Amino acid sequence: METLALARWQFAITTVYHFFFVPLSI
């Protein structure tokens, strides 16, 4: 897998994780 693709997936997963997790923790 390309490094750029891996970085993009990591960024997307982190964004989705915060998008769902932060409202639940508040």
- What pTM was estimated for this model as a whole? 0.55
The string of DSSP codes covering 1-26 is --HHHHHHHHHHHHHHHHHHHHHHH-
Looking at residues 13-21, what average pLDDT do you find?
Answer: 93
Model confidence at 6, in pLDDT bands (50, 70, 90)?
very high
Can you give the pLDDT at residue 11?
A: 97
Q: Tell me which residue of 7, 26, 4, 8 sits closest to 18, measured CA to CA.
A: 26
- pLDDT higher than threshold 90 for residue 4: yes
Looking at residues 19-25, what average pLDDT do you find?
Answer: 85
Can you give the pLDDT at residue 1?
A: 67
